Amino acid sequence: MITYLAEGATGTFFDTRLAIANPTQAPALVLTRFQKGDGTTIRDYRVLPPMQRTTIDVEGLGGLEAAEFSTLVEADVQVVVDRTMTWDQTGYGSHAERGILTRTATKWYFAEGATFFNFNLFYLIQNPNTQTAQVRVTYLLPSGNPLVKDYVVTPQSRFNIWVDNEGLTDPALAPLANAELSAIIESTNGVPIIAERAMYLDQPGRALGAGHESAGVTDPRASLPPTACRSSSSARCGGRDRHRRHGRRRTTARAKSRPARAGRLRRVKSAARVRRRPTC
């Protein structure tokens, strides 16, 4: 039984921890594989007693002191896996997500996304297979035709798309630098993938002052999964608002924050539209 997590990062800015619970009456033989962006894999083996939990502080594993990675947790009984990411040594920001059990999905949908003002939007794609995944991302904008780009995700690796910067290498995607958008992420050659979205909001004097993260849905008829939202004390997140989770820029943070009110977030978004988005 395998659980998947597309997002993960460690280093001087980010920390990642995995909580693994064994709710069964049998010991769990657990193999955790961390698949890095360069295609290398780091493994962790452990036995989890019945009705207990264990925590993996990923940065403490050799070869993962500073890395971006996706994760597979495989066990001989069904375990439950959650991931928590924090950033900055003061711990002012964090977000969390549960593990994904879907292993055959080739298409993922994301309704929320923004790059205007100080928002940073990331899509994280995991290819746990031994075959290359040909991935097409269709960016849906408030008006006009969708923008489309194809990517190659190598076997047993994690791939990162920083949407704000896509126009720097592909002029056709320049509108993505200052936009509200949705996305469809699809493996066009039938190789299953896992996809997550992360969003961050830079604040004056504080990079990634708020952040949230979420897996996509594999059926547009399904409801978006509930997500936890945590932010700094000065920025708030609401369940249906701009900050569901925030991508990534390498300046880190770490604190658990408070759920925020949708009303204030809407006011932030409205004000942002009339302000020129600062360059980074």
| CATH number of this structure's domain 2-98, picked from the four choices 3.30.70.260, 2.60.290.11, 1.10.30.50, 1.20.1640.10 | 2.60.290.11
CATH topology identical between 2-98 and 111-273: yes
Q: Give the three-state DSSP class for 124.
A: strand
Mean pLDDT of 73-100: 92
For the chain, which residues make up each domain, given as ranges?
Answer: 2-98, 111-273
| Whether residue 266 has pLDDT greater than 60 | no
CB 201 within 8 A of CB 211: yes
Q: Write down the pLDDT at residue 174.
A: 97
CB 43 within 8 A of CB 165: no
* Token pair in block for residue 46: 């452990």
Q: Write down the pLDDT at residue 200.
A: 96
End-to-end CA distance of the chain: 43
| CATH number of this structure's domain 111-273, picked from the four choices 2.60.290.11, 3.30.1490.20, 3.60.110.10, 3.20.20.20 | 2.60.290.11
What would the pLDDT profile of 70-83 be if each residue is shown by its tens digit? 999 999 999 999 99
What would the pLDDT profile of 161-192 be if each residue is shown by its tens digit? 999 999 999 999 999 999 999 999 999 999 99
| Whether residue 239 has pLDDT greater than 70 | no
pLDDT greater at residue 90 or residue 250: 90
**Whole-angstrom distance, CA of residue 243 vs CA of residue 231:** 9
What would the pLDDT profile of 14-42 be if each residue is shown by its tens digit? 999 999 999 999 999 999 999 999 999 99
Sign for the pseudo-dihedral over CA of 170, 183, 129, 211 = positive
127-162 burial code (b ≥16 CB/10 A, e <16): bbbeeebebebebbeeeeeebebeeebeebbbbbbb
Q: Write down the pLDDT at residue 233.
A: 37
What would the pLDDT profile of 131-163 be if each residue is shown by its tens digit? 999 999 999 999 999 999 999 999 999 999 999
